[in-house]
Structure 1
Amino acid sequence: MLDSTLSDIEARALSAIENAADAAALEQARVEFLGRKGALAQIGKDLGKLSPEERARIGKLLNSVKQTIEQRFETKKTWFEEQALRARLDAEWLDVTLPAPGTRPGSLHPLTQIQKELEDLFTSLGFAVVDGPEVETEWHNFDALNIPPAHPARDAQDTFWLENGHLLRTHTSPVQVRAMERFGAPLRIIAPGRVFRNEEVDASHEHTFYQLEGMMVDRDVSIGHMLYFMKTLLEAIFRREVTVRLRPGFFPFVEPGFELDIQCLLCGGAG
């Protein structure tokens, strides 16, 4: 009787393995026939009830059936794994012979963008863009600008002093001196660049910031020219017409001194 039972189990197991549609169905067949509580395990528990001769014969047959089912199971399992791998390779396929896409383009820093826009504006107005070293001499940074050692303007500009009388420039004004030395007059330049002050960093102070300085040296140059260029500068920045005014302002390194006000672009000066 156990012979026919084992034959039936073998036939059903092989059919279930053959007809398994996926790995989950295959695993379900394995558990049903080869699991610890499966059909073959139940027959194995009944071997003890048989005579020694019958136990040996049925045990041999049981092992044969089990090996047949296991081999067919492993074959089908391998096939599913190969199919899964092939599908993954198809989905993740990459042609390594294609050229690399290259470095993704970055973008300019906002400060660099605005500096380039202003340089383009002033060059269209006939100005030259000049630059100078950020590590300056004391003479170019102070003395040549009529700021001697005892001048109060030096107290207002906390300076990073270096060796041999050099320093990190506290403004872009040394470029004025170098441009006059190199080009002479008449002269029309702007000097954008980074400057440094030995200040404690907080919400309104920074040890490194940027300036854009303009200079005109010629006959018949007036405050009206400066007002025109400043207004043109602001209209280029805000991309709209602006209303400005000049008012006296005290700066210990220049006389006369002016400050430029711009009417609020949000409320139109209404407050």
Structure 2
Amino acid sequence: MSAITTSTTGAGERFAGAGFGTRLSEAMAARGPLCVGIDPHVGLLQRWGLPDDARGVREFSLRVVEAVAGQVAAVKPQSAFFERYGSAGMAALEETIAACRAADLLCVVDAKRGDIGTTMDGYADAFLGKDSTLAGDAVTLSPYLGFETLRPAIDAALATGRGVFVLALTSNPEGAQVQHALADGVPVAALIARQAAAANAVEIEAGAPLGSIGLVVGATVGSAARHLGVDLGAVRGPLLAPGVGAQGGGAAQIRDVFAEALGAVLPSSSRDVLRAGPDAGDLLAAAQAINEELRHAVAG
């Protein structure tokens, strides 16, 4: 069993000082740009010899954190793989987030939340609230009820030193139906990027290297940003790029998609790291190899 012991209390104590964009920029400079996805789906649990239950997910996730802490920029636990086990699974997610905090490892909770009114207030409290045990360093959000419906989460992130990643150009084929569509003559993805840039303005004007309001842009979307007029460089926030490795994204794809915004890219890889487990040394070796390739890619 993992040697990591965690506490889920005092979640807000860490977030006095620099905003998420600044802390992420520092982590990427020091440890390389890689974000390791923590996706404990059934196939990987079986591969690691772990049970398909909350205990297995907890053990899987804590082993990943223990293996890569101090060696990569961030990790990204996928909330769905914890939620499927109910309250015990959510407790495992809380422990994973607490383990990241204890290891000084940035944690992006991949929850893709988005709603309106008091419901969005609730999601903001859960994933970005000062003392919430479900709050990592950032959370992914869906803007497709309108970008401004995310305002409670954006305000909470900025108030607590956390960040958000807003879905903008995803690599799944169905995403184009919404993201490439025109709203008042402008592609939806371009509007989302412009609104994220506006939300970052105060931090950038104050001298932050990156704002804390980022976008999710798939590593395999090719020329979509250029063709749609999505100015990724103008966002001045972090760009989470899932799809590295097994999904086809590599150094060449990263350079093609992000061009002038390479310094803001947080590439995410899950399967190419996780299938190297369960041995901690093998996990770390896989992460380091990918991280080194990506370090050269984002250097331009």
Name the TM tier (shorter chain).
under 0.3
TM-score by length of 1: 0.22
TM-score by length of 2: 0.20
Higher relative contact order (CA 8 A, sep 6+): 2
**Which of 1 and 2 has greater Rg?**
1
